[in-house]
Structure 1
C-alpha cells in the first residue's frame, strides 16, 4: 500500500459529516470508518485521512496547542470541466471560498469542507 497511495491527513470536527461530504460531492469511497475518531476515504491514488478531535492525531501537543482544521494547505483535484463541476456543487449547497480564478496554467476554485478545510478543483489550460 505505501507505494500505491499518497496519504494526506485532514483534521475534521465531525468525521461522519466529512465522510458524507467527500463521498457525496467529490466521489471519494470509504476505506475504513472508526467514527467519531477516524476514517479514511480514497479517490484514485489519494488516501485522505479524516481525523476527529478524539483521534491520536487530535491529541494536544506538548505546549498544549490542539490540532485543528483549516489553514491554506489543500488537496488539489483535477477536473475536466470546472464550470460544470462548480454548477453541480453549488446546486448541492457546497460552500466556496472564492470564484473561479484563471491563470496561465489553468483555472481553479476553492471549496470548503464541513470543518473549514480547503479543496482545490483545478482545470489545466488547454494547449
Structure 2
C-alpha cells in the first residue's frame, strides 16, 4: 500500500500575533493526495471530526479535532488524483 503524501501549513484567519485557542480560527492545514484514505485511517484509530468531507472549487477538506479541541484541516487540492 502506498503512503499518502502530506505537507503541513499553519492556517490562521484571526488576528496575527494572537494567542491560539480551540475556536476554529487557528489550525494546522495538512495537504494530502488521498483525503479519503487518511480520514478512514484516522477514524479507525478513534479520531474525532467536526463534520464530513466537504468539496468545493479549491478541493476537498475535513476538520479533525485533536484531544484538546484544536482543529487540524485535512485538505486535498482540486486537480490531484483520487
After TM superposition, the score normalised by the length of structure 2 is: 0.70
Equivalent in the alignment of 1:105: 58
Q: How many matched pairs?
A: 66
Equivalent in the alignment of 1:51: none
Counterpart CA distance in 2 for 1:83 and 1:75 is: 18
Higher fraction of helix: 1
Counterpart CA distance in 2 for 1:85 and 1:109 is: 10
RMSD of Structure 2 on Structure 1 (CA): 2.5
Counterpart CA distance in 1 for 2:27 and 2:38 is: 18
Please say if residues 78 and 124 of structure 1, whose CA atoms lie closer than 8 Å, have aligned partners that are also in contact.
yes
Q: Name stretches of at least 5 consecutive residues in structure 2 with no aligned partner.
A: 1-6, 11-18
Equivalent in the alignment of 1:54: none
Please say if residues 8 and 29 of structure 2, whose CA atoms lie closer than 8 Å, have aligned partners that are also in contact.
no
Q: CA deviation at 1:69?
A: 3.6
Larger gyration radius, structure 1 or structure 2: 1
Find runs of 4+ consecutive structure 1 residues off by over 6 angstroms: 44-47
Q: Name stretches of at least 5 consecutive residues in structure 1 with no aligned partner.
A: 1-43, 48-66
